[in-house]
Amino acid sequence: MTVRIERRLTQPHWLKVAVPAGSLVVAFFLIAIVLLATGHDPAATYRDLFEAAFTAPGALTQTLIGATPLIFTGLAAAAAFRMNLFNIGGEGQLYFGTIGASAAGLLLAGHSAPVLIVAMIVAGFASGAAWALIPGFLRAYLSTNEIITSLMLNYVAGLFLTYLIFDSHSYWRDTTSASAAVFPIGKVLPDAANWPTFGSSVVIPFGFLLGVVAATLLWVLYSRTRFGFEVQVMSDSPRAARYSGMRTRRKILAVMALSGGLAGLGGASQVGDFLHTLDADPKGLRAYGYGYTGIVVAALARYNPFAVVLIAFLLGGLQNAGAALQGPDFPSGLVGVMEGMILFTALGGELLVRYRVRFARRRPVVAAAEPKTPASEAAR
C-alpha cells in the first residue's frame, strides 16, 4: 500500500464548506485530548468558551471590539493575496493609519464630528496606502520580493512610532499635561473625533460597520469591475495579463495601495473608536499583532471579503474568550494551544481542498516480466 497525494483537477463546491467545518471538528477533538491530559473537562471548557465569546453579558461587545481591526487587516491581506501579491506589511500600514488619522484629528480640532471622522478615514487610508507603496514600487519596478520588504518595513514603522512619541517633540506628542511629564504619551484627540457607537445591550463600534462597508465595496470591486477582472487575470497568469495589454506594473501599485489603505483604515478605526491618541507603547497596540493575524484571517476566509468579516468575528470571539477563560487553573499557554490547534487544522485542511489522498497498491517493480497491453496502460 502506498499513499499518494494528487492534485485535484476540479474542486467541488461542497468541499469548500465541508473541509473547514471538518477541520474545526478535528481541532476541537484534538483540543479535548489536551484538555483531558491537563485535567480539565472539555465539555465544560467549551461551554465556558462559547459563553465568554458570545452569550455572557457584554461578551458580544468585546468580541466585536476584537473583530474590528481584524476585519481591516484581513481585507488588506485578502486584497493583495488575491493577486498573488504577498503584502505581509499590514502591521506597519496599520501603524501608519494611526499616525495619519491622529494627525487629521488633531489638525482639524474644532471642526464638527462628521468632518473630523471623514478626514480621519481619508488620512488613515492614504497613510497606509503610502507606506504600502514603498514595497509596491520596489516590486513593480525592481522585482524585489514584496514579502521581505513589506515585512521589514513593519519594524521600521514600529520604530517610527517610538520616535514620534518617545524620542522627539513631534506634533503628536503631548508635552503639556502633567502625566506626560512622567511618561511620554500622545496628544489626546478632540472629543468630536471620537467615532460613534451604536446599540445599547450590544455596543457596535463605528469601525466595525465601516469594516463591513469596506468588505462589501471590496467584493464589488473584485467581482464586478474591470479592475477586478484584471486582478483575476494577473493572479492566474501574469504573462497572459501582459499579453492582453494590461498595465501590470500599475496594477501592482494600485493593489498594494488598496491593501495598505485597508490596513490604514484599521489604524484609523483604532484611533477613532478606541485609543483617541497615537499609541506608540510597545505593550499597547503594537503588542497585538493585528496585521499578522489579518493574514491568518484572510487565509481562512480564502480571500473572500465577506468570509473575512465572519472569520474576524469568530477569531475575535476566540481571543476574547481566551482572555476570559484565563485564570489560576487555566494558564494562558493553554489558551494559546487552543488557538494554535484551530489555526493548524484549518490551514492544514486546505490541503484536502486542493489535493486528494489516494491509497494505491504498489505496482510490481520488474517491468520485463509484465506483459504490456493497451488495456493495462489505460488502467494505470
Partner 1 sequence: MEPTAEPRAVDLASRAARPAIACRGITKRFPGVVANDRVDFEALEGEVHALLGENGAGKSTLSNIFTGLYRADDGELEVFGKPVAFDTPRDGIDAGIGMVHQHFRLVMPFTVAENVMLGDHSDVGRSFVLHPRAIEERVAELGERYGMAVDPRARIWQLSVGEQQRVEILKALYREARILILDEPTAVLTPQEAAALFETLRAMAADGRTVIFISHKLHEVKAVSDRVTVLRDGRSVATVETETSTLQSLASLMVGRELHTYRRPEEAREIGELLLELDGLSAQGDRGVEAVHGVSLHVHAGQILGVAGVAGNGQRELAEAVTGLRPLTAGAIRVGGVPLHTGDPRVAIKAGVAHVPEDRLHTGVAPSLSISSNVVLKSYRSDENSAGPFLRFHRIRDWAVELIRRYDVKAPGPGASARQLSGGNLQKVVLAREFSGAPRVLVIAAPTRGLDVGAIETVHGHLRDAAAAGVAILLISEDLDELRTLSDRIAVMYEGRIVGEVDAATSAPEEIGLMMAGGQAT
Where does this chain touch partner 1 (CB under 8 A) — which range of 59-67, 182-190, 237-245, 352-360? 237-245
b/e code 18-33 from CB counts within 10 Å (16+ = b): ebbeebeebbbebbbe
| DSSP assignment of 86-104 | ---THHHHHHHHHHHHHHH
Contact between 155 and partner 1 per CB under 8 A: no
Contact between 142 and partner 1 per CB under 8 A: no
CA neighbor of 131 nearest in space, from 88, 68, 166, 79? 88
Contact between 366 and partner 1 per CB under 8 A: yes
Contact between 6 and partner 1 per CB under 8 A: no
Where does this chain touch partner 1 (CB under 8 A) — which range of 55-63, 123-131, 265-273, 366-374? 366-374
> Are the C-beta atoms of 91 and 268 separated by less than 8 Å?
no
Query: What Cα–Cα distance (Å) separates residue 360 from each residue in 2, 3, 16?
Result: 5, 6, 25
Residue of 29, 171, 198, 229 interacting with partner 1 (CB under 8 A): 229
CA neighbor of 147 nearest in space, from 223, 225, 90, 232? 90
Bridge partners (DSSP) listed for residue 204: 198
Residue of 178, 201, 372, 379 interacting with partner 1 (CB under 8 A): 372
Contact between 233 and partner 1 per CB under 8 A: yes
Beta strands in 21-99 (DSSP E): none
Contact between 328 and partner 1 per CB under 8 A: no
How near is the Cβ of 245 to partner 1 at its closest, in Å?
3
Contact between 379 and partner 1 per CB under 8 A: no
CA neighbor of 61 nearest in space, from 249, 157, 200? 200
Between 184 and 305, CB nearer to partner 1: 305
What one-letter code names the amino acid at 279? D
Residue of 232, 292, 310, 330 interacting with partner 1 (CB under 8 A): 232
Contact between 114 and partner 1 per CB under 8 A: no
Contact between 326 and partner 1 per CB under 8 A: no
Total of chain residues touching partner 1, rule CB under 8 A: 24
Between 16 and 224, CB nearer to partner 1: 224
> Are the C-beta atoms of 200 and 251 separated by less than 8 Å?
no
State the DSSP H helix or E strand holding residue 356, giving kind and residue range, or none if neither: strand 355-360
Rg (CA), the chain: 24
How near is the Cβ of 371 to partner 1 at its closest, in Å?
10
Where does this chain touch partner 1 (CB under 8 A) — which range of 72-80, 256-264, 292-300, 360-368? 360-368
Rounded to the nearest 5°, which phi and psi values hold at 373?
Answer: -130, 160
Contact between 47 and partner 1 per CB under 8 A: no
Residue of 13, 169, 226, 362 interacting with partner 1 (CB under 8 A): 226
Report the C-alpha gap between 298 and 19 in whole angstroms. Answer: 16
Q: Tell me which residues in 242-281 interact with partner 1 (CB under 8 A).
A: 242-247
Q: Which residues have C-beta within 8 Å of that of residue 97, sequence separation ≥ 6?
A: 124, 125, 127, 128, 263, 264, 265, 266, 267, 268, 270, 271
Contact between 225 and partner 1 per CB under 8 A: yes
> Are the C-beta atoms of 300 and 346 separated by less than 8 Å?
yes
How near is the Cβ of 131 to partner 1 at its closest, in Å?
26
Where does this chain touch partner 1 (CB under 8 A) — which range of 35-43, 52-60, 188-196, 227-235? 227-235
> Are the C-beta atoms of 268 and 123 separated by less than 8 Å?
yes
Between 61 and 232, CB nearer to partner 1: 232
Residue of 16, 239, 354, 358 interacting with partner 1 (CB under 8 A): 239
How near is the Cβ of 7 to partner 1 at its closest, in Å?
12
List residues near partner 1 by CB under 8 A.
224-227, 229, 232-233, 236-237, 239-247, 365-368, 372, 377
